[in-house]
Chain A
Amino acid sequence: MTTAHFQSHYIPNTEREQAEMLATLGLTSIDELFHDIPDEYRNPPLNLPEPLSELEIQRELAGLASKNRSLGSGPSFLGAGSYHHFIPAIVKALMTRGEFLTAYTPYQPEVSQGTLQVIYEFQTLISSLFGMEVANAGMYDGATSLAEGVLMACRVTNRERVAVSDTVSPTYLQVIRTYCQAHGIDIEVVRHWEPEVGDDTACLVVQYPNFYGGLEDLGDFAQLAHGHGALLVVSTDPTACGMLNPPGHYSADIVTGEGQPLGIPTSYGGPYLGLFTCKEQYIRQMPSRLVGRTVDSQGRTGYVLTLQTREQHIRRERATSNICTNEALYALASTIYLAAMGRQGLKQVAELCYHKAHYAASRIESLPGYNLPFQRGPFFQEFVVQCPAPPAEINRKLMERNILGGLDISVPPYSAPLPPDLDKGMLVCVTEMNSKEDIDALVAGLAEFN
């Protein structure tokens, strides 16, 4: 079947209707509408493949998807900032309703109360989860959220030195460097057991649980930072906050996090959701949108975007950030997730992760040739294993058993802060998705090496 004219099923106007509409303008061809484009640049050759029907595109993409190993197809122990958690069916069912999915940013509050009220709920639940006074409507992801937290701390303190603990995610550190490169901000990586903070330090940046899984004493960090007039900026895991005291409990000033564990698929790294909270006193330096509760002209409760003078569409080059579109749909997903999990459910998930990870750690530690260099201190769901062979080699062998092993941290950038004798490190992550059989299979696979 070939026809000269391709009528896309996404476009209602037929050629005949187009001709009628053109006639109302005194025109005869669509090309005449583009006469402002200089002739030599108009209608360039466009080398794209022929259009596919929906049936064909389904086949093509099913083929591409099948070349990827999905986390559900076998035991998986990879984490490092992106976590495989259970997602209740209602999350997708509700977030893909067209009224949520195909709405724009809620600039017209009268016809956006659904989205606005959801964001208000999101701000309530996230600030509560992190033990903080205020949360914004969300950022792009955990890494950019932390980078914006660093920039905000520099604005609040009017200082330009930043101390980043060496146990902060090495990729998050890279993003902080990207965001700070044009501002003359001095970024120093400091040792987590002895962070150097001075009277010109804007903030101390730590991660809880840290990138290598450990739980450090946030109270000590807060005391140190505050003693020098610096802020404590923390990146945290919202699942861990289901059972552990959150950073707000320790007087952190800005707490950010990756919202992906809250009902968002791993999806090869995005879209995710940046969580951003702070003390109320710093609210005017906060980036991104905020929703507030108010009343309408007849006294009815409603919700609006508020404190917008911080943002780019009003303050332009003096805005607190350039962020506009964020990740509202995934703020919705995480709100539905937290509503469904609730007070008991989130705690149960956190405890499942904790017990399973500690079970896995104790089994692996008992294997000849393996040891857990950091695990004298407490950890949550991730831990470092020093292996008897290069982790990449072990992971290849595990994959022969259809097991996705942990992250190889013997290579840059993950290896940078590690001591020299920790040269075959693997970062293992265990969540509620891993059954005892999965863990035992991992242990059996690892036992092949010694």
Chain B
Amino acid sequence: MLKGGSRDTGKLLMERSVPGRAGVVAPPLDVPEQPLPDASMLRDDLALPEVSEPEVVQYFTALSQQNFSIDTQFYPLGSCTMKYNPKINDEMAFLPGFAAIHPLQPPDQSQGALELLHTLQEYLGEITGMSGVSLATLAGAHGELAGVLMMRAYHHSRGDTGRIKMAIPDSAHGTNPASAAMAGFEVVTLASDEDGNVDLEALHELVGPDLAGVMITLPSTLGLFDRNIVEVCRIVHEAGGLVYGDGANMNALLGRAKLGDLGFDVIHLNLHKTFSTPHGGGGPGAGPVCCAPILEPYLAAPIVTASANGSGPTYALSNPEQSIGKMSGYHGNFGVLVRAYTYIRTLGDAGIKSISGNAVLNANYLLGALKDIYYLPYDRTCMHEVVLSADWQRARGVSGLDVAKRLLDYGFHAPTMYFPLIVHEALMIEPTESENRYTLDAFIEALRQINRESETDPDMVHHAPHTTPVSRLDEAGAARHPDLRWRPKT
């Protein structure tokens, strides 16, 4: 959609600036003016733009319209769970009694917030089958770091300081090895077998007195439920290790299986995936950590506790006795936690189970309709996402990247590409439960059409997208000569 004048986004804020324009009017000073500090401490070089309020609104509105989003496009980005984000969740988080309260105000002035957090801890514990929950971590990777630090603290508390290795499957998200390294572990790779499960032979070779544990994503990043999982947990436990669960794919398991029952010791959840809080273009998220009783003393501070008194429970923040410490400035991403609480209350037990059921049904529906034209490396029932490969199209000169870019021209966001690393030309598709059959059918038709184009006009597909504001940006140039901020022309 073309836009003229200042609604065109070509000019940056500093290029729109006109001396004397104001975006706000400040209130007058209502106290006597006070002496300023020494002039040498004051700045006179503040380079911020001068633009009026309508210009700010026009500019940012026009920018927003250059994005694909769940509200405007189907967004089947694998492992990201781009489901509908209910508007009521946002409205509740913006209530002044939640949005305008201070993290350090005394507990007797924040009982409503603490009660909500305490109840959410109980819900998440029930859903995951875990006894301990800390809501203090601010994203998935942040929860991972807390979780692996807890594993370290557990081993160290037993004088077991020789467990310096962490085993991570070759299909894992990059955050897993990065988090393990931040917690001081040496990362060793755990292979997958030909069905996409953890290779038990390889696991047997890795366990021992130097292995702290394993980090497992369930379902795996291949979109598969690991049929060996109970055995994996048993083998690791028998060798004195612990099992970490990456909850990125929990949308598949809600109400269907509890990770605690299966043998996991500590996991994190991504509330911005499974529990419908908006991604916001890359956060905020929330990554609560849930754990088995043996790890509870080490949970990140603070957690919310309840104590009974005459008129009902009183809630307070408290620090677990051997806590790994504070992971952030305050008590967690409260606004995100309010949204997740609202979501769970709106669904209840029946609703929670229908989330996973429909998410898995939608993914298998796509699998069934596409596997004749896109290679399916693991031909079995998938969970919430299906991993296809563009290997057949590659043979005609059209890569997975090309297919993904061409989908943009059809008005669909691209799937996750080239991940997991163990699948060639991977296209990882996660439809979620909130899409209807009509959209899925249209998406299937687009992928069929692109497959035909890969035969009739591969060059056109190779240069897609053709309808977006920009196409195939020069990423090498951006990295060779980084231009990371606007600077005045000299």
Contact between A97 and B64, CB atoms less than 8 A apart: yes
Contact between A42 and B43, CB atoms less than 8 A apart: no
Q: Hey, which chain B residues are within 8 Å of A245, CB to CB?
A: 40-43
Q: Given A245-B43, A325-B283, check contact A65 B56 (CB 8 Å).
A: no
At the interface, yes or no: A163 with Cβ under 8 Å from chain B?
no
5 further contact pairs, Cβ within 8 A, besides A105-B281, A321-B178, A328-B280 = A71-B101, A90-B53, A266-B102, A294-B474, A345-B22
Contact between A129 and B48, CB atoms less than 8 A apart: yes
Q: Which of B288-296, B328-336, B389-397 participates in binding chain A?
A: B328-336
At the interface, yes or no: A290 with Cβ under 8 Å from chain B?
yes
At the interface, yes or no: A168 with Cβ under 8 Å from chain B?
no
Contact between A407 and B104, CB atoms less than 8 A apart: yes
Q: Given A46-B353, A69-B101, check contact A318 B115 (CB 8 Å).
A: no
Whole-angstrom distance between the Cβ of A40 and the nearest chain B Cβ: 9
At the interface, yes or no: B446 with Cβ under 8 Å from chain A?
no
CA distance A312 to B140 in the complex (A): 13
Whole-angstrom distance between the Cβ of B482 and the nearest chain A Cβ: 5
At the interface, yes or no: A227 with Cβ under 8 Å from chain B?
no
| Interface members, chain A 279-336 (any B CB < 8 Å) | 283, 289-298, 300-304, 306-309, 311-319, 321-330, 332, 336
Q: Given A51-B350, A140-B138, A322-B179, check contact A102 B279 (CB 8 Å).
A: yes
Q: Hey, which chain B residues are within 8 Å of A108, CB to CB?
A: 68, 404, 408, 413-414
Q: Hey, which chain B residues are within 8 Å of A307, CB to CB?
A: 479, 482
Q: Which residue of A lies closest to B380 (CB)?
A: A36
Contact between A322 and B381, CB atoms less than 8 A apart: no
Q: Which residue of A lies closest to B463 (CB)?
A: A297
At the interface, yes or no: B272 with Cβ under 8 Å from chain A?
yes
Whole-angstrom distance between the Cβ of B83 and the nearest chain A Cβ: 8
Whole-angstrom distance between the Cβ of A223 and the nearest chain B Cβ: 16
Give the interface residue-count category, chain A: 35 or more
Main secondary structure of the interface of B (DSSP, over half): loop
Q: Which residue of A lies closest to B405 (CB)?
A: A110
Contact between B354 and A8, CB atoms less than 8 A apart: yes
Q: Which of B85-93, B203-211, B237-245, B447-455 participates in binding chain A?
A: B85-93
At the interface, yes or no: B475 with Cβ under 8 Å from chain A?
yes
Q: Given A46-B127, A171-B329, A175-B325, check contact A326 B139 (CB 8 Å).
A: yes
| Interface members, chain B 312-358 (any A CB < 8 Å) | 324-336, 338, 342, 344-355, 357-358
At the interface, yes or no: B26 with Cβ under 8 Å from chain A?
yes
CA distance A258 to B105 in the complex (A): 19
Q: Which of A16-24, A191-199, A382-390 participates in binding chain B?
A: A16-24
| Interface members, chain A 107-130 (any B CB < 8 Å) | 107-115, 117-118, 120-121, 123-125, 127-129
Contact between A268 and B56, CB atoms less than 8 A apart: no
CA distance A290 to B50 in the complex (A): 25
Q: Given A268-B330, A269-B334, check contact A25 B66 (CB 8 Å).
A: no
Contact between A342 and B282, CB atoms less than 8 A apart: no
| Interface members, chain A 37-67 (any B CB < 8 Å) | 37-38, 41-44, 46-54, 57-58, 60-67
CA distance A105 to B280 in the complex (A): 8
Name the one of A71, A169, A322, A343 contacting B100, with C-beta atoms under 8 angstroms. A71
Whole-angstrom distance between the Cβ of A69 and the nearest chain B Cβ: 4
Name the one of B22, B327, B353 contacting A342, with C-beta atoms under 8 angstroms. B22
Q: Hey, which chain B residues are within 8 Å of A105, CB to CB?
A: 279, 281-283
At the interface, yes or no: B75 with Cβ under 8 Å from chain A?
yes
Contact between A99 and B71, CB atoms less than 8 A apart: yes
Q: Which residue of B lies closest to A38 (CB)?
A: B230
At the interface, yes or no: A359 with Cβ under 8 Å from chain B?
yes
Name the one of A54, A94, A137 contacting B88, with C-beta atoms under 8 angstroms. A54
Contact between B272 and A325, CB atoms less than 8 A apart: yes
Contact between B72 and A82, CB atoms less than 8 A apart: no
Q: Given A6-B348, A125-B13, A129-B46, check contact A268 B103 (CB 8 Å).
A: yes
CA distance A283 to B71 in the complex (A): 36
CA distance A295 to B99 in the complex (A): 40
